[in-house]
Structure 1
Amino acid sequence: MPARVARSAPPRNGNGNGLEYSRSRSHLSNNDRVDLYHQFSSKKPKQTVHRQVAGAEAAKLVHGPVDIDSFLEIDCFPGMKVCGVKNERVVNITDLLRQVDPTIIGANKRSERLMYSPLAKALNEIAKKAVTGRPLPVKFDVCGDLRPAEEIGGFRTTPDLSIQPRRKSKNHGSSSDYWARGLGIIEVKATEQEDPWYQRVSTSAGEHEFTEVQLKTWNQIQEYAVMAYRAVSRCFLLGMGFFGDVVRFFRWDRSSIIVSDPVHYKVDPAPLITFVVGLAKFANSGIDRTAHTSLGTKAELALVHSCYDEAVHLGILSEYTPHRDGDTLDGESTRIVVESPQKPGLYETFLAIGRPMFYSRSVRGRGTRVWLAKRARRCEDGFVVIKDTWRNESRWTEGEIYGSIYKGAESVFGVARFYHDFDVPDPVSKEMPCCTAAARLNEEGTDLTERIHHRCVLLSVGIPLDRFKSTKQLLHAIRDAVEGHRNMCSNGVLHRDISPHNIMISVYPEREMGARGFLIDPELAVVDTMPDLATELHYLTGTPPFMAIDRWVDDEADHEEWHDLESFFWVLVFVVIRHTPCYITQKRVDKPAVEFLPSLYDTYPSDRNKKTFLTDDAPNLTVVNNPPLTACIKKLASIVYSHYYPAQVKQDLLPGKLNQLTHAKVIATLDEFLKSAEWPSEVDDAAVPFEQLERHSVQQKQEVAAALNAARLKAESGRSSRISRTSKSAQVAKQGQQDRRTNQLKPNARNASAGPAARGIKHISAAPPPKAPQHVAWHLATAHRTRKRKGSSVEKEPADEESALKRSRHTAAVATRTPVAKNTRSAARRNHAVSSYQGTTRIVTRSQTRRAQQRSG
């Protein structure tokens, strides 16, 4: 058995990963760590870390293992009855399952790949013949050898088998067989020891201890679940893990992961048959059909295409590009059902224009998905934004919070215009809202967040901050959002989640009361009429990279207005550094500002890093060719820092210099610089696309590769130079033979050949080595200096004519000690070899050799 490791993940309440943002009192909007790892990371994600993060996050949601009957009848398929399967069919299925064998014939080894095809054959047999009558609408595909790249992060991963709906035809050209868009996932391992719960051992703390192999399996399965939830809107997800001769079943939702006891499927295939039948027939296999129904008519397809072109023109969406082979705009656009605000219980159909504009990367939490949409069959209506979430059952709905913001008015300047919200009905009962399993599991003693499927429609349509057309437009949008925040506070509502995703640039300012930017997503807002107001204000709430420093430093502090105002500053810095050319000067050296992103936004919130930025970095930040924005950031940084002066400094300052973060101060500062006449032209001031930085290890590998490539090119160049010199030497030697034959017929020819040219001294300069890439030059220079310090025999080429002459004389001395060759050509080759080592090619004629011997006696 593999050695057991000290780690105890995935325990029910385990963490142990540096990306955790947890406190006992938190409503963090992005406490979903997979979300944080993707959305705000400045460096390219690493798949091994992504997989570990997915596993650690899932560890918090685990319930079980539970006995197989409870899992099937209560947790997965409550109220579903499965008809008995005829004995002869069970026997046939059992025979097929017994052929699932990982043993390599003739070798004492096992390979899970040998299990793929027999297992898929047996499962497809269950789907075809387990139920009398029509086959089940599912199929099982082997996809272990396919590694399609994920569109986010570029990870190349796939489960061993996927569960797909059995279709008569393709869905309007979409790559519908992509495993993550399927009905479930299957992971296969050759041995039972790779099962995460095999011979589970409890620690003194009551937690489960896993081997390295088991932990790897757990993380792998959880990463598949994360990707499956990203690809499709789901109410729940089902999966199977085959570990040698046992199978274990999994069920995911936004609150929990339920794991079954193991089943020896070759001995008793009944639970496996029941699971396959339930997966195919119960609750649309977990797919949310209210937001995942394909377009059906040519009119709908035509409307989607015309709307998409309009959205691209307005800057709402970018040009459509497929994420994988087979994707089309038609296939990624869907129908979405919305309850009528005038007639509760009746539903309208909207068309989602392309893929979601935003979606959560995590299984755990709210699972937000946002679409740009238009009402079907009503071309004259404008765009709307549909937001789909799994809201916390204990909190106010978004509609209730918007009602508190408006205070009876139709809208408020700087805040999104709300249309309608409702709880999505359960696909089975139709009368109750769709919920996670947490409510029932909490009755058994767990402490999981109960969540309800919720949908909200907004009339305000915005452009993300990172797609601004000019930096002045960006600052205008933030300025009006700050005013919207002031209007919310005036009506007794504090937002508490200011982040780049929650501030939008207005597409139609005239429809937003003239506001060029507005706030959205008040889900975590606190209202002064809430019965538990004191408790809510004490909660740690928001998106961690943009939260005020004080919220992390002072455990006893309540959330105040100025905390949100500080978040506006961190949002502005984040967008500017990512999407404009800017640098920070340190010790008279200008450094790209993007190098400062990881310490500010990628790591655990650090008051030290952010305070250092306020005092040392922000005053030295320069946005290229943009004096107003540069000055604005510097002044805002000083305003923010007025809340963080050291105690000894505060004593010497007037009260007016402290705690300056107020709505009036921030808006006045923004207005001051918006009036400047020095803003750059909008033609060249649009957002620059941000490319994630390479990880340090990847960067090192690239530098090494570049250095090796430069060395290879240099060697090839030197080799070609030596070939060239040898060729020229042969030509000179041949010409010398011809000259000597001619000189035999001419008197005084020997004297005439006594000049420098006749001495045969000739320097042939080698081609210069190729120039190393800029990011490798420093490493090459350092390596050269190191070799010289160690006394390397490789000398530098002569820098001037005097040095070259000394080298030539040294070569001549060596040549005089060389025996007379039988012919000039062999002598030239030998002398060339000696001289070439010194960097100079010398051709010695026969007459020069004879004179040298005479002088030496």
Structure 2
Amino acid sequence: MPARIARSAPPRNGNANRLDYSRSRSHLSNNDRVDLYHKFSSEKLKQTVHRQVAGAEAAKSVHGPVDIDSFLEIDCFPGMKVCGVKNESVVNITNLLCRVDPTIIGASKRSERLMYSPLADALNEIANKAVTGRPLPVKFDVCGDLRPAEEIGGFRTTPDLSIQPRRKSKNSGSSSDYWARGLGVIEVKATEQEDPWYQRVSTSAGEHEFTEVQLKTWNQIQEYAVMAYRAVPRCFLLGMGFFGDVVRFFRWDRSSIIVSDPVHYKVDPAPLITFVVGLAKFANSGIDRTAHTSLSTKAELALVHSCYDEAVHLGILSEYTPHRDGDTLDGESTRIIVESPQKPGLYETFISIGRPMFYSRFIRGRGTRVWLAKRADRSDDGFVVIKDTWRNESRWTEGEIYGSIYKGAESVFGVARFYHDFDVPDPVSTEMPCCTAAARLNEEGTDLTERIHHRCVLSSVGIPLDRFKSTKQLLHAIRDAVEGHRNMCSNGVLHRDISPHNIMISVYPERELGARGFLIDPELATVDTMPDLATELHYLTGTPPFMAIDRWVDDEADHEAWHDLESFFWVLVFIVIRHTPCYITQKRIDKPAVEFLPSLYDTYPSDRNKKTFLTDDAPNVTVADNPPLTACIRNFASIVRSHYFDEQYKKHIPLEEQNMLTHDRVISVMQEALDSADWPAEAGDAAIAFEPLERRSAQQKQEVAAALNAARLKAESGRNSRLSRTSKSAQVPKPGQQAHGTSQLKPKPSNARNTLAVPPARNTKQKAAVPPAKVPQPVVGQQATALRTRKRKGSSVEEEPANEELAQKRSRHRAPVASRTPVARNTRSAARRNNATSSSQGTTRIVTRSQTRRAQQRSG
């Protein structure tokens, strides 16, 4: 997710009474936080971290709590009037609300589950009878026990109650039943103390501290909101939190989270009734109906299926896989409204082909969502790409930037072809664009980013880099995108956000002036005619994992063209390591290159890791059976490395070998590789699917568990073998061996420790060693216990080899031990240990000091 951060500027917060999320002991490290802020993490993400990141992000833009009247009349439902509610209905609603009680009868404990059904009954009573006439088009369902996955392999979570649209005929199990596609979320807690703002305490800096319980509640609610925004295009989202006998209301948009004061809903249900009525009737309940209207005609459905087959064949889309029961290609396709470029104010209808190709992972920010689509009434037209964002109000629109790139031409080699863009109208006041609440909140002293709902349509259609058909095709696409970047710079435009999602493989190169790849998403670009160009260039802008090292280490540096060229290198390395058989040689050992991904791309700033990679690892990168791509990466890395020589080293390097990142050199390195005749055959050179890596902590746990399991199985095998041998030897004593229960004391040799380490061979006639009298006999299978137990104080552990060959090796290893230890720290203890050690029949014995002493006394 691209970031735009002002140097030495304070973060944008909700208001003076902002949340200090870092004051909780559960705050996130930078490593955990970055895992969720971009979609390029290489390691599997824990849901606990996902929830924490959602809470941390939300805490940056919270506003409130505000008084309940202002929240309802100004923040949520401006201009809406609620008709009077009959006294009889209010009484019935109040009686139902009074039944909401978490107390367990006969116990002092409380359970929030006891509140679910009574709350749903009361809220449904409001929806059915609060307003005269027809029931409100909403219903409230208990869903706390349902935990559907967000997507295949995704997180499983659900709020306690969901707010769903009331439908005339319910299709049970349809995708519309998924709680995140509903109208709002409700979280229930048994006590008021679990309210994040219960008895809130502010620090001297005006920051609110969470307790651990409050933090957990906050993170839960914010995760629900994040997942609801990912599921459906929204202008805003509403939610409720019931904490014992109080309720608190929430409103999310792309700039802020507004929180209301608490309301004692059993005493005064009027605010709750107003909120439910407003949620059902105001502005489509926050759903963006210009991009979320179900298909209904046979012609639309036929268009979707024919276009889908073509898109899969071309490689634009992957095979459709439902995420949940009831999901279908038809159900996830939608109508999208686009303003006509020839007739402003009139709108055309496009049909999306299935679910979005891309969507933003979080609420705050641009909230990008991208569809592959086709015009509904002109099926002969080609595909288009529709991009929906919430643009920064103070920046140029994407259409204005494309105009600066083209300089009057219809298109530019290596840059996407632009069709049209416009601000999406407000659903209530259609003459105004749809905006976030930041503009109004900033009048009250906050510092939030004002955002406007914007939609852009591109005529160029591309294939993501991670679905290349051959590595040569991949390098062709990136080479032409670099050429497109040079053309942009020639026209005074600097992209500033080079990432894998912003470089596409051309589906129709002949329509792109022959370019096999092109750049998209110049929304964060600078144009040399911008009035605030100097300030813009000083902003830290881009997608963090792919930003140039220099942008992190030099606070005074402005963004330059070579920074973008370095980003092309990190994109190439990222795609190659993830999707080709690739390794890096370190100390003559070939290591899988995927092991280097977390240190390079999952944390930021990662300048040290990347410098180390450029110096030590990149020269040793090898793409299996692919000499041209291997050489390209190594040569490209040497050009990037030329910008990061230390001052002492620079004194010995000619100036022409420093700071070598230019368009001509980068294109030359790539072209040299493309001209090679050693490329692998295309048939077996397509992208390999990437499987996220196990997190290191989880991987270590799995390795330890596997090792313990292997040791357990080995010990059990040894125990069974010894049991078999012991039973045989007990039945048939060997010649010269004492009968069971008798004893014969013999003096130990001075080197008894080393001698006992080698047992006699099984089939020899040598007499077996006889243990001292009345010393506990070794128990068969004791070895496994000894191996898993730390040596106790005052005891000795001697492990007997399992076979003759191992015994001889161990004897050779142990023989010189005494000579290597000239003086023992405690000779008496050493003697006790030597005398306490005894072995028999390949078992392990643990003999305490007291047992040794008694045995010595009895033996005289």
Fold shared per TM-score above 0.5: yes
Residue 342 of structure 1 aligns to a residue whose secondary structure is coil
Shift of the 255–34 alpha-carbon distance from structure 1 to 2, 3 Å rule, reads: farther
Mark the runs of 5 or more structure 1 residues left unpaired by the alignment: 1-7, 22-31, 734-755, 762-779, 807-833, 840-857
| Partners of 1:54 and 1:219 within 8 A in 2 | yes
Paired letter, 2:621: L
Q: Write the mapping of 1:260-409 to structure 2, written as runs, cut at 5 A.
A: 260-409=260-409
Corresponding residue number in structure 1 for 2:157: 157
Shift of the 547–19 alpha-carbon distance from structure 1 to 2, 3 Å rule, reads: farther
> By how many angstroms is 1:838 displaced?
6.3
Shift of the 757–391 alpha-carbon distance from structure 1 to 2, 3 Å rule, reads: closer
| Partners of 2:401 and 2:527 within 8 A in 1 | yes
Deviation string 1:69-117 (CA, Å, 9 cap, x unpaired) is 0100110001111001100110010000000001111111111111111
Corresponding residue number in structure 1 for 2:502: 502
Rounded to whole Å, the distance in 1 between the matches of 2:273 and 2:594 is: 54
Paired letter, 1:414: G
Shift of the 49–802 alpha-carbon distance from structure 1 to 2, 3 Å rule, reads: closer
Residue 613 of structure 1 aligns to a residue whose secondary structure is helix
Say whether 1:412 aligns with 2:450: no
Residue 39 of structure 1 aligns to a residue whose secondary structure is coil
Deviation string 1:424-461 (CA, Å, 9 cap, x unpaired) is 11111111111000011111111100000000111111
Residue 167 of structure 1 aligns to a residue whose secondary structure is coil
Paired letter, 2:803: P
Shift of the 62–784 alpha-carbon distance from structure 1 to 2, 3 Å rule, reads: closer
Selected match of 1:798 from 803, 823, 840: 803
> By how many angstroms is 1:614 displaced?
0.6
> By how many angstroms is 1:797 displaced?
2.2
| Partners of 1:14 and 1:56 within 8 A in 2 | no
Paired letter, 1:537: L
Rounded to whole Å, the distance in 2 between the matches of 1:143 and 1:724 is: 58
Deviation string 1:810-845 (CA, Å, 9 cap, x unpaired) is xxxxxxxxxxxxxxxxxxxxxxxx996669xxxxxx
Aligned identity (percent) is 85
Shift of the 505–35 alpha-carbon distance from structure 1 to 2, 3 Å rule, reads: farther
Rounded to whole Å, the distance in 1 between the matches of 2:790 and 2:728 is: 35
Rounded to whole Å, the distance in 2 between the matches of 1:720 and 1:20 is: 51
Rounded to whole Å, the distance in 2 between the matches of 1:150 and 1:89 is: 38
Rounded to whole Å, the distance in 2 between the matches of 1:731 and 1:168 is: 83
> By how many angstroms is 1:163 displaced?
0.6
Deviation string 1:744-803 (CA, Å, 9 cap, x unpaired) is xxxxxxxxxxxx9999x9xxxxxxxxxxxxxxxxxx9xx89999xx97443222245998
> By how many angstroms is 1:718 displaced?
4.8
> By how many angstroms is 1:200 displaced?
1.0
> By how many angstroms is 1:600 displaced?
1.0
| Partners of 2:14 and 2:61 within 8 A in 1 | no
> By how many angstroms is 1:148 displaced?
1.6
Rounded to whole Å, the distance in 1 between the matches of 2:711 and 2:118 is: 51
Corresponding residue number in structure 2 for 1:854: none
Deviation string 1:691-716 (CA, Å, 9 cap, x unpaired) is 11111221122123323432444355
Deviation string 1:143-199 (CA, Å, 9 cap, x unpaired) is 111122222762221111111111123579742111111100000111111111111
Shift of the 194–536 alpha-carbon distance from structure 1 to 2, 3 Å rule, reads: same
Corresponding residue number in structure 2 for 1:56: 56
Corresponding residue number in structure 2 for 1:102: 102
Rounded to whole Å, the distance in 2 between the matches of 1:784 and 1:19 is: 35
Rounded to whole Å, the distance in 2 between the matches of 1:13 and 1:502 is: 34
Residue 604 of structure 1 aligns to a residue whose secondary structure is coil
Rounded to whole Å, the distance in 2 between the matches of 1:785 and 1:708 is: 13
Say whether 1:560 aligns with 2:560: yes
Paired letter, 1:613: F
> By how many angstroms is 1:125 displaced?
0.8
Deviation string 1:393-412 (CA, Å, 9 cap, x unpaired) is 11111011001111111100
Deviating more after overlay: 90-99 vs 723-732: 723-732
Corresponding residue number in structure 2 for 1:232: 232
Shift of the 36–210 alpha-carbon distance from structure 1 to 2, 3 Å rule, reads: closer
Corresponding residue number in structure 2 for 1:633: 633
Corresponding residue number in structure 1 for 2:252: 252
Residue 249 of structure 1 aligns to a residue whose secondary structure is strand
Shift of the 727–308 alpha-carbon distance from structure 1 to 2, 3 Å rule, reads: farther
Rounded to whole Å, the distance in 2 between the matches of 1:140 and 1:170 is: 14
Rounded to whole Å, the distance in 2 between the matches of 1:676 and 1:44 is: 37
Query: What TM-score results when the alignment is normalised by the length of structure 2?
Result: 0.83
Paired letter, 1:142: V
| Partners of 2:423 and 2:455 within 8 A in 1 | yes
| Partners of 1:9 and 1:56 within 8 A in 2 | no
| Partners of 1:35 and 1:361 within 8 A in 2 | no
Rounded to whole Å, the distance in 2 between the matches of 1:803 and 1:219 is: 61
Rounded to whole Å, the distance in 1 between the matches of 2:483 and 2:764 is: 90
Paired letter, 1:176: S
Deviation string 1:502-560 (CA, Å, 9 cap, x unpaired) is 00011111111110100000000001111111111111111111111111111111111
Say whether 1:12 aligns with 2:24: no
Residue 175 of structure 2 aligns to a residue whose secondary structure is coil
Rounded to whole Å, the distance in 2 between the matches of 1:711 and 1:640 is: 48
Corresponding residue number in structure 2 for 1:773: none
> By how many angstroms is 1:58 displaced?
0.6
Q: Write the mapping of 1:774-793 to structure 2, written as runs, cut at 5 A.
A: 792-793=797-798
Rounded to whole Å, the distance in 2 between the matches of 1:758 and 1:503 is: 76
In angstroms, what is the RMSD of aligned CA positions? 2.9
Rounded to whole Å, the distance in 2 between the matches of 1:785 and 1:720 is: 20
Rounded to whole Å, the distance in 1 between the matches of 2:808 and 2:669 is: 66
Q: Write the mapping of 1:690-709 to structure 2, written as runs, cut at 5 A.
A: 690-709=690-709
Deviation string 1:280-311 (CA, Å, 9 cap, x unpaired) is 11011000011110111122112111211111
Rounded to whole Å, the distance in 2 between the matches of 1:15 and 1:680 is: 52
Corresponding residue number in structure 1 for 2:521: 521
Corresponding residue number in structure 1 for 2:423: 423
Deviation string 1:188-242 (CA, Å, 9 cap, x unpaired) is 1111111111111111111112211111111111111111100100000000000
Residue 64 of structure 2 aligns to a residue whose secondary structure is strand
Corresponding residue number in structure 2 for 1:811: none
Corresponding residue number in structure 1 for 2:751: none
| Partners of 2:28 and 2:53 within 8 A in 1 | no
Residue 177 of structure 2 aligns to a residue whose secondary structure is coil
Rounded to whole Å, the distance in 2 between the matches of 1:243 and 1:794 is: 61
Corresponding residue number in structure 2 for 1:491: 491
Between Structure 1 and Structure 2, how many residues are aligned? 752
Shift of the 341–803 alpha-carbon distance from structure 1 to 2, 3 Å rule, reads: closer
| Partners of 1:413 and 1:487 within 8 A in 2 | yes
Deviating more after overlay: 376-385 vs 490-499: 376-385
| Partners of 2:404 and 2:493 within 8 A in 1 | yes
Shift of the 232–57 alpha-carbon distance from structure 1 to 2, 3 Å rule, reads: same
| Partners of 1:293 and 1:335 within 8 A in 2 | yes
Residue 373 of structure 2 aligns to a residue whose secondary structure is strand
Shift of the 786–666 alpha-carbon distance from structure 1 to 2, 3 Å rule, reads: farther
Rounded to whole Å, the distance in 2 between the matches of 1:609 and 1:423 is: 42
Residue 208 of structure 1 aligns to a residue whose secondary structure is coil
> By how many angstroms is 1:624 displaced?
1.1
Q: Write the mapping of 1:40-79 to structure 2, written as runs, cut at 5 A.
A: 40-79=40-79
Corresponding residue number in structure 2 for 1:776: none
Q: Write the mapping of 1:163-174 to structure 2, written as runs, cut at 5 A.
A: 163-170=163-170, 174=174
Corresponding residue number in structure 1 for 2:618: 618
Rounded to whole Å, the distance in 2 between the matches of 1:802 and 1:584 is: 40
Say whether 1:461 aligns with 2:461: yes
Corresponding residue number in structure 2 for 1:197: 197
Deviating more after overlay: 602-611 vs 662-671: 602-611
> By how many angstroms is 1:126 displaced?
0.7
Corresponding residue number in structure 2 for 1:645: 645
Corresponding residue number in structure 1 for 2:578: 578
Corresponding residue number in structure 1 for 2:671: 671
